[in-house]
Amino acid sequence: MKTLLFLLLTLLCSNAFSQTTISGKIIDQQGSPIMEASVYLKGTYDGTATTEDGTFTFETTAIGLQTLIASSISFETYSKADDVTKLNMITIKLKDDVNTLDAVTVNAGTFNAGDNAKVTALKPLDIVTTAGALGDFVGALQTLPGTSNVAEDGRLFVRGGDAEETQIFVDGMRVFTPYSPSANNIPTRGRLSPFLFKGITFSTGGYSAEYGQALSSVLLLNSINEPQEEKTEISIMTVGLGLGNTQKWKKSSLSLNTSYINLAPYQKLYPDNNEWHKPVESVGGEAVYRYKFNNDGLLKVYGAYSSVNFDLTQEDINVADGIRFGLKNRNLYINSSYQDFLEKDWSIATGISFANDHSEIKYNTSDITDNENSAHLKLAFKKYFSSRYKLNFGAEYFATNFTENFEDSGFEDDYEFDNNIFSSFLETDIFFSKKLATKIGLRGEYSELLQEFNLSPRLSLAYKSGTNSQFSLAYGEFFQNPKNDYLKYNSDFTAENTTHYIANYQYVKNKQIFRAEAYYKEYGNLVKYDTPFALPTSTYNNSGSGYAKGLDIFWRDNKSIKNTEYWMSYSYLDTERNYKNFPTSATPDFASKHNASLVVKRWIEDWKSQLGFSYNYSSGRKYTDPNLGGFLTEEAKSFNSLNANYAYLISPQKILYVSVSNVLGTKNVNGYQYANQTNTDGLFERRTITPAADRFFFIGFFWTISDNKNDNQLDNL
């Protein structure tokens, strides 16, 4: 009987009597109650949600040490291990989750493209479907503010800087020769095909300490980690042919692309103002191999080879027969990167890139052979202490060897230099709250060639002023060794430098983005020389200087007009510099005071077509008129171009694409060339430098063959 009673008592106890009450209140950092937060004991069924005043109470049969978890959407999850009896009448303060979309982002100077970013200025498809960009991602970026349109060059000119001041990186590794060579006055194109990338970060200033050797801007491209499927792609274009294939295995994948471009048929139909002896012919191939290790590690190896060949005669006011220019270029680029997540919230990223660029140039009677070997090695670590505090540090080594052989009617000379740079960087990201964040970095660079060490501090700060708006500030110092054109003749230099000051305001609401950014940039130690061109015999020094200041405005609206997206950019630029052989401080000929562009895209459902327009305007650029005296005092007429494109989805896997640049055939002027000698009237005669052709047509047919009947090459265009 006694045993039975005891048993009964025990049962009763375990069933009903050993309940402990857990209770308390959950508040946010301002002390306001959080309702509907989830509170429970880990590993048990016991828990509840908070009421309107943030309080909670529940019973548990668990005893001893238990872990209490409190979580609510857009707050960091809280956990506390204690004896259950002590988890009564407690107050829990939840911290804002800083990883949400509505948290502040440190973004002064930066545009993001691709779907991985919080605020995307350009979407993946925009990179390739912007009218006038002709499938070149650089062309699409030129519709963003902060860039100057230099129609005859095609490269990126950012905020009063020349094209060499922008560096391009793929998966953190430097691309040494990102542009295909082209003749004078003919715009170049990027070598990298746009469909290899899933995310693009374009910084027009004030960028991270992880990147260096760029005075103005960096363009960071992230390649695709894993292709979606196996497929074969065939392209037939007015300018050539393309063939691609992707294979996938369990842990790895291989993509191959080949292209053959020949402009001869096009130039037969639409002759331009150059006399082509050998129209541009290029053969290229690229391969990407990706391997996923079991432990999240990812290895990517990218290799590209291209050869370009052309020969032409271009008009010149001082040479009656014109100037003969021929080029044979071959370029090999290899980029391998490995990234992995280690234990205790560490991650590692390492890589090596190598480029060999070989050019044989014929310039009238001169034969020039250039050979450049460059390599970049990098090792970087990241540590996530918490979502609020991250540390990123690493070291890298850049090596460049350049040789040139110059031969002209019996005269021969060789030039060579090694430009090796060792750098290391340290950067930290701190979120003080969901509203205030900062990034502080320091970069040190030692140049073996210049035998000097430079330290560049970088700082940015962002404050979220409202639900949809935020302010950011950035400051940074940037160093870059003088370009190859000077280093091959002289190495008694110091690095050129810039200091950036940036203030940014951004408003993002419901598929609309407004962004305004003001900046001031100071140039120091720019290279100067005392001859009309950089020559082996010139006297060089670093006494040049300059500034650039301006305002960039961006507006994108995907909401107001149905099936239509548009964006507008405007840049105001005030810049002067005294560098190269300038006798005085002046606005360089690549900079225009006002740049504006409008891009419109409309999807027409019934036609299964996308129609796109873009309009580019830039105010006239400076030139020197020797008849008037002065230096870079005259202004050429403004540049206007209306471009259109049309993509028609014949079937899910067949696309017809038509694109026309400068539809209206506006007669643009790239500049003027004056005669070296006066004519009989005592005047310097001039020749207007116009684009090689007013319009450019492109028609292409793209066909994708895959198991997935919906995939197409729209993203390649």
Partner 1 sequence: MKTVLLIATFIFTLSLSAQTPYEKGMNEAFALWEQQKNTEAVQLFERIASAETDNWLPPYYAGLIEIVSSFGLKDEALLNTKLTRAKEFLDNASEISENNPEIMITYALLNTAYIAFNGAKYGMTLSGENVAIYQKALAIAPSNPRVLLGKTEWDMGAAKFFGKSIAPYCEDVERAIVLFNEEEQTVPYYPYSGLERANEISANCKKETSPN
State how far the Cα of 192 lies from the Cα of 306, in Å rounded to an integer: 11
**Among positions 86, 93, 95, 198, the unique one binding partner 1 when judged by CB under 8 A:** 198
**Among positions 12, 65, 81, 683, the unique one binding partner 1 when judged by CB under 8 A:** 12
**By the 8 A CB rule, do 538 and 583 touch?**
no
Q: Is 492 in the site for partner 1 (CB under 8 A)?
A: no
**Among positions 18, 19, 21, 100, the unique one binding partner 1 when judged by CB under 8 A:** 100
**By the 8 A CB rule, do 555 and 568 touch?**
yes
- Of the pair 659, 713, the CB lying nearest partner 1 is at 713
Q: Is 18 in the site for partner 1 (CB under 8 A)?
A: no
Q: Is 530 in the site for partner 1 (CB under 8 A)?
A: no
**Among positions 36, 59, 345, 530, the unique one binding partner 1 when judged by CB under 8 A:** 36
Interacting residues with partner 1 between 586 and 645 (CB under 8 A): 608
Q: Is 97 in the site for partner 1 (CB under 8 A)?
A: yes
Q: Is 294 in the site for partner 1 (CB under 8 A)?
A: no
Order across the sheet with 20-27: list the strands: 55-60, 20-27, 90-93
3-class DSSP assignment, residue 128 = helix
State how far the Cα of 656 lies from the Cα of 236, in Å rounded to an integer: 10
Residue found under tokens 């080029």: 327
DSSP 464: E
Torsion of CA 23, 24, 26, 32, to 10 degrees: 140
- Of the pair 45, 533, the CB lying nearest partner 1 is at 45
Nearest-approach distance from CB 23 to partner 1, in angstroms: 17
- Of the pair 79, 543, the CB lying nearest partner 1 is at 79
**By the 8 A CB rule, do 19 and 61 touch?**
yes
Nearest-approach distance from CB 11 to partner 1, in angstroms: 5
Q: Is 125 in the site for partner 1 (CB under 8 A)?
A: yes
* Region binding partner 1 by CB under 8 A among candidate stretches 116-124, 169-177, 315-323, 351-359: 116-124
Which tokens go with 679?
A: 């004519």
3-class DSSP assignment, residue 341 = strand
Whether the CA torsion 100, 103, 106, 107 is positive or negative: it is positive
**By the 8 A CB rule, do 180 and 191 touch?**
yes
3-class DSSP assignment, residue 88 = coil
Nearest-approach distance from CB 229 to partner 1, in angstroms: 6
Q: Is 74 in the site for partner 1 (CB under 8 A)?
A: yes
The type of residue at 110 is T
First-to-last alpha carbon distance for the chain, in angstroms, is: 89
Nearest-approach distance from CB 43 to partner 1, in angstroms: 5
Interacting residues with partner 1 between 556 and 595 (CB under 8 A): 558, 565
**Among positions 651, 676, 678, 688, the unique one binding partner 1 when judged by CB under 8 A:** 651
* Region binding partner 1 by CB under 8 A among candidate stretches 146-154, 166-174, 203-211, 702-710: 702-710
Nearest-approach distance from CB 127 to partner 1, in angstroms: 10
Give the DSSP per-residue string, 388-421.
TEEEEEEEEEEEEEEEEEEEETTEEEEEEEEEEE
- Of the pair 49, 669, the CB lying nearest partner 1 is at 49
**Among positions 6, 8, 252, 535, the unique one binding partner 1 when judged by CB under 8 A:** 8
Interacting residues with partner 1 between 211 and 270 (CB under 8 A): 228-229
State how far the Cα of 58 lies from the Cα of 70, in Å rounded to an integer: 13
- Of the pair 535, 561, the CB lying nearest partner 1 is at 561
Element (H, E) at 448: none
What are the C-alpha distances in Å from 569 to residues 83, 537, 603, 640? 60, 44, 22, 15
Nearest-approach distance from CB 55 to partner 1, in angstroms: 16
- Of the pair 156, 462, the CB lying nearest partner 1 is at 462
Whether the CA torsion 236, 237, 239, 243 is positive or negative: it is negative
Nearest-approach distance from CB 18 to partner 1, in angstroms: 14
Binding site for partner 1 (CB under 8 A): 1, 4-5, 7-8, 11-12, 15, 36, 38, 40, 42-47, 49, 69, 71, 73-74, 97, 100-102, 115, 120, 123-125, 198, 228-229, 510-511, 558, 565, 608, 649, 651-652, 707-711, 714-715
